[in-house]
Amino acid sequence: MKARLKLIIVTGLSGSGKSTAIHVLEDLGFYCVDNLPVALIPRFLEICESSGEELHRVALGIDLRERTMLGELPRVLDDLKGSGHHVDVLFLDAGDEVLVRRFSETRRPHPLAATGTPASGIRLEREKLAALRERADRIVDTSALTVHELREELRGLVAGTESAGLMTVTLMSFGYKYGVPTDGDTVIDVRFLPNPFFVQDLRARSGLDRSVADYVLRGPETREFLARFKALLEFTLPRYQREGKSYLTVALGCTGGRHRSVVLVEELKGALIDTPYRVLVRHRDIGH
């Protein structure tokens, strides 16, 4: 088989948005097939490469519907990578309470909870998919994502797969009151910094406002933290890339995700502009 084919495996928890992700990737030009049996993946890719059509980008949806051979997926992926294909595993996740609400809203039963509650099915599914989650190249927490934001996340993934050797670094701000992001590789608590929320003129503004940024950045603790954290990134990022990591999510959290974490993410974005990484920014809770 030729080595030019790019394959994205879309997997994750039921209700996390896998079907939406497949549709988005289709809109981005991928040839998409949902629920293809694992045993047929190598033969399917052979057909794609031997066809007269320009099928260089393929996305496959794989989940617990593939009950009998899901355990074979890691071996199949290793074989495909050994053949020279670029393979990325995208794992979609969401908080348990979010998944329960989604099943309640759609009035659909969880596939593993035919005689139990959605919560019990979710717990069982997490256990069964734990090994696959560990193999994921990119984990996306869809708990607070709109369809538009998921599309942007996938655009970043696609760009990463088509930029050989270029690691994508996502800088995320979030609020602890809305939960710790499950897709953060590095999670930093910045609630020790002065909080603009307690300044009447700044409370209603976000960290994108210059006056809020000035308030946060003028503190000596903030300046020292940024200097130390930038040095940490300078040391670790090339080593992550050397180990073959294609995606890294650095999440900074404050109480509500509107002020301090937003300011710091914007500052770090500026520090990484001239580095050999693709930098994405996501302010998860700025709208709350």
pLDDT band at residue 173 under the 50/70/90 scheme: very high
Per-residue pLDDT reduced to its tens digit, 84-121: 888 889 999 998 888 988 888 877 778 777 666 888 88
Structure tokens at 172: 């995320």
Percent residues over pLDDT 70 in the chain: 93
What is the second-level CATH architecture of the domain 6-162?
3-Layer(aba) Sandwich (3.40)
Per-residue pLDDT reduced to its tens digit, 65-91: 766 677 888 889 888 888 888 888 999
Residue-level pLDDT at 170? 92
11 neighbors 61 (Cβ within 8 angstroms)? yes
Owner of token pair 């079907």: 19
Alpha carbon distance 259, 200 (integer Å): 13
pLDDT at 58 over 60: yes
Please tell me the chain's helix, strand, coil percentages from 3-state DSSP, rounded to the nearest 5: 45, 20, 35
* Stretch 19-27: mean pLDDT: 89
Residue-level pLDDT at 214? 97
Per-residue pLDDT reduced to its tens digit, 146-159: 888 888 878 777 76
pLDDT band at residue 162 under the 50/70/90 scheme: low
For residue 174, CA distances in Å to 29, 98, 146 come to 31, 17, 15
The one-letter code for the residue type at 7 is L
Q: Where are the alpha helices (DSSP H) in the chain?
A: 18-27, 41-50, 73-82, 96-106, 118-135, 147-161, 210-217, 220-242, 260-272
Alpha carbon distance 140, 89 (integer Å): 11
Q: Is 37 buried (19+), middle (13-18) or exposed (0-12) by CB count in 10 A?
A: middle
Domain positions in the chain are: 6-162, 169-283
pLDDT at 3 over 50: no
* Stretch 198-227: mean pLDDT: 96
Residue-level pLDDT at 148? 80
pLDDT at 48 over 70: yes
pLDDT at 15 over 60: yes
For residue 188, CA distances in Å to 73, 191, 252, 259, 281 come to 33, 9, 5, 15, 15
Alpha carbon distance 22, 94 (integer Å): 17
The gap between the terminal CA atoms of the chain, to the nearest Å, is 49
pLDDT at 139 over 70: yes
**Count of helices and strands (H, E) across the chain:** 9, 9
Q: If phi over 0 gives left and psi between -120 and 50 gives alpha, with beta otherwise, what is residue 47?
A: alpha
Burial string for 128-147 (b: 16+ CB within 10 Å, else e) reads ebeebbeebbbbbbbbbbee
Mean of pLDDT over the chain: 88
165 or 207, higher pLDDT: 207
